[in-house]
């Protein structure tokens, strides 16, 4: 159970093979003290890792957070940090900060969109938006209809003046290009209506832009699970009407298919674009699709491998790379002085990415996670 009073313990984790970002080493001991990875200290509780694989805690670079239960779910699946891409109740955000033994998070707060957009129809996005108000980065929804190019450009310029990263939702090809034109730092999702080409990807590399493909969500919105979601929408006919109105003004594109998102990731990887793992996990009642917190990240790993990433590249995409590109300098690797966000696995995920599910223990900032 998460709380605000649990104190990190001194722990010596013996007989573990550490993933250093590239490979798994020989058996060693990792020490935890005051929530950090430390030098050896007296009085530590000793835990035998039984030759398991010790990973830095996984980072899911695209979730939506509403409850403490979701933090607990993610922690049990080894997600020790989550990057929230839109939660618009400041009281909710405040209530979930500072808990121990569960997933830590950063947040974009409210997402910036516009009236008449598909997102404004589906989700109860607040009409009022204040740039950089109590947030860690800025999230803007690139969509057609949605904020026009001039508005997107202005949001990025002002956010950068404030020293904030800008993340853009872009699930279709034309909005993806708008996000690039606006100069956003990170694009989340991949086009489902038309695959990215080498020219699009080369531009990503040239501009130093990052992609969080969220293949799990792209699969959900285009696959067999889309039918129950559409049936769910019929309970809110006014939403369907708003979506139809919005789509009238959208440019004609190809059929939305998962293969386009997958081929986009293949192209991004082939051209050397930095890819970060994220899922779009959420349980928002107003959303037609549900992606489970925690469990979905392991499925994302499998989809990224299927799209051509090596197992090592996928593990980097959920640890050191999101830490680097989101400025999380205190985590992402297992080094002395870093947060003791750790996941102990029974089997080697470099050999088979499905082994990320073989979780034996998890520590969030030095506090052991209740796995029950």
**Residue 88 neighbours by CB distance under 10 Å:** 18
Question: Using CB atoms within 10 A of its CB, is residue 141 exposed (0-12), middle (13-18) or buried (19+)?
Answer: buried
The pair phi, psi for residue 141, each rounded to 5°, is -95, 110
> Is 242 or 349 the better-scoring residue by pLDDT?
349
Residue 329, pLDDT > 70, answer yes
Kindly indicate the confidence band of residue 189, based on its pLDDT and cuts at 50, 70 and 90: very high
Residues 6+ apart with CB under 8 A from 33: 8, 10, 41, 44, 366
Which CATH code is given to the segment(s) 57-332?
A: 3.20.20.140
CB 71 within 8 A of CB 96: yes
Q: What is the residue extent of each domain of the chain? A: 57-332
Per-residue model confidence as pLDDT tens digits over 203-252: 999 999 999 999 999 999 887 555 555 565 555 554 545 555 556 666 65
Nearby residues of 133 by Cβ (< 8 Å), 6 or more positions away = 109
Higher pLDDT, residue 232 or 347: 347
Report the share of the chain in percent with pLDDT over 70. Answer: 83
Section 344-362 average pLDDT: 98
- Long-range pairs for 323-331: beta carbons < 8 A, 24 or more residues apart: 323/59, 323/81, 325/185, 325/186, 325/210, 325/274, 325/276, 326/61, 326/83, 326/106, 326/136, 326/137, 326/165, 327/165, 328/59, 328/81, 328/106, 331/56, 331/57, 331/59, 331/80, 331/81
Residue 238: per-residue pLDDT = 45
Query: Tens digits of per-residue pLDDT, 51-92?
Result: 999 999 999 999 999 999 999 999 999 999 999 999 878 888
Calculate mean pLDDT across residues 261-272: 98
Lowest mean pLDDT among 22-26, 223-227, 282-286, 359-363: 223-227
Q: What is the pLDDT of residue 255?
A: 86
pTM (two decimals): 0.91
DSSP secondary structure letters along 112-157: B--TTSHHHHHS---S---TTSS-SSEEEE--SSSS-HHHHHHHHH
């Amino acid at each position: 159970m998460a709380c605000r009073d649990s104190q990190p313990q001194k722990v010596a984790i013996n007989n573990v093979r550490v993933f250093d970002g590239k490979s798994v080493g020989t058996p060693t001991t990792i020490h935890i003290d005051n929530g950090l990875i430390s030098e050896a200290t007296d009085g530590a509780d000793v835990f035998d890792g039984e030759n398991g694989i010790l990973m830095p805690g996984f980072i899911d670079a695209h979730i939506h957070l509403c409850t403490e239960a979701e933090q607990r779910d993610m922690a049990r699946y080894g997600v020790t940090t989550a990057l929230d891409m839109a939660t618009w109740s400041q009281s909710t955000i405040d209530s979930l900060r500072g808990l121990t033994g569960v997933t830590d998070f950063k947040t974009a707060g409210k997402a910036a969109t516009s009236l008449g957009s598909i997102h404004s129809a589906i989700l109860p996005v607040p009409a009022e938006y204040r740039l950089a108000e109590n947030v860690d980065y800025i999230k803007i929804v690139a969509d057609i209809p949605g904020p026009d190019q001039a508005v997107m450009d202005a949001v990025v310029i002002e956010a950068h003046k404030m020293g904030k990263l800008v993340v853009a939702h872009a699930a279709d090809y034309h909005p993806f290009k708008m996000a690039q034109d606006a100069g956003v730092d990170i694009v989340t999702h991949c086009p489902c209506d038309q695959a990215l080409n080498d020219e699009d990807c080369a531009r990503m590399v040239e501009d130093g832009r990052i992609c969080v493909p969220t293949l799990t969500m792209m699969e959900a919105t285009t696959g067999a699970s889309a039918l129950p979601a559409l049936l769910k929408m019929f309970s809110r006919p006014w939403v369907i009407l708003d979506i139809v109105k919005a789509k009238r003004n959208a440019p004609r594109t190809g059929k939305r298919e998962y293969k386009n998102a997958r081929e986009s990731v293949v192209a991004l990887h082939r051209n050397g674009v930095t890819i970060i793992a994220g899922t779009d996990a959420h349980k928002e009642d107003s959303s037609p699709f549900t992606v489970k917190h925690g469990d979905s990240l392991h499925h994302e790993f499998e989809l990224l491998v299927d799209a051509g990433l090596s197992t090592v590249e996928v593990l980097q995409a959920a640890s050191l790379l999101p830490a680097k590109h989101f400025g999380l300098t205190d985590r992402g690797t297992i080094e002395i002085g870093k947060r003791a966000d750790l996941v102990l696995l029974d089997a080697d995920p470099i050999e088979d990415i499905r082994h990320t599910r073989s979780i034996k223990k998890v520590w969030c900032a030095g506090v052991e996670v209740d796995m029950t």
